[in-house]
Amino acid sequence: MLSIVWLPILFVFIVGLCFGSFYNVVILRGLSGESIVFPGSKCPKCGNPLKWYHNIPLLSYVFLRGKCAYCRTRISIQYSIVEFITAILFIISYLRWGFSLQVLFMLSILSLFLITIVTDLKERVIITSHSYILCGLGLLLSLVATFYPQILDFNINKIYMFCPILSSVSGLIAGAAVMEIMARLGYLVAGKRAFGEGDSYIAAALGAILGIKYILIVLILAGIIQFLVSLPLFLFNTYRQGKKFVAVELVLFLTLAVLLFLYSIKLDKIVYFSGLILLVLMAMHLIRNIISGMKTSNNNTYLPFVPAMNIAAIIIMFIIF
Torsion of CA 46, 48, 53, 54, to 10 degrees: 20
Phi, psi of 42, deg, nearest 5: -150, 160
What is the rounded distance in angstroms from the CA atom of residue 26 to the CA atom of residue 272?
A: 55
Q: What is the pLDDT of residues 164-215, one digit of tens each?
A: 899 999 999 999 999 998 888 777 766 777 778 889 999 999 999 999 989 9
Q: What does the alpha-carbon distance between residue 159 and residue 88 come to, in Å, rounded to a whole number?
A: 25
Which run of H or of E encompasses 99? none
Q: Please, are residues 231 and 224 in contact by the beta-carbon 8 Å criterion? A: no
Per-residue pLDDT tens digits for 217-254: 999 999 889 888 877 777 777 767 766 777 777 778 78
Q: What is the DSSP string of 289-309?
A: HHHHHHHH--SSSS--SHHHH
Radius of gyration of the chain measured on its C-alpha atoms: 23
Q: How many residues are there in the chain? A: 321
Contact 282, 256 (CB under 8 A): yes
pLDDT in tens, the chain (321 residues): 556 678 889 999 999 999 999 999 999 888 887 877 777 777 777 777 878 777 888 888 888 888 887 888 888 899 999 999 999 999 999 999 888 888 998 999 999 999 999 999 988 889 999 999 999 999 998 888 888 877 777 766 677 767 789 999 999 999 999 999 888 877 776 677 777 888 999 999 999 999 998 999 999 999 889 888 877 777 777 767 766 777 777 778 788 888 887 777 777 778 778 888 888 888 777 766 665 655 555 544 567 889 999 999 999 999 888
Q: Is the peptide bond before 39 cis (omega within 30 degrees of 0)?
A: yes
Burial state string for 169-203 with b = 16 or more CB within 10 A and e = fewer than 16: bbbbebbbebbbebbeeeeeeeeebbbbebbbbbb
Q: Using an 8 Å Cβ cutoff, are 207 and 159 in contact?
A: no
pTM, to two decimals: 0.83
Q: Helix H segments across the chain? A: 6-32, 59-63, 78-97, 101-123, 128-147, 156-159, 164-189, 197-210, 212-240, 244-262, 269-296, 306-320
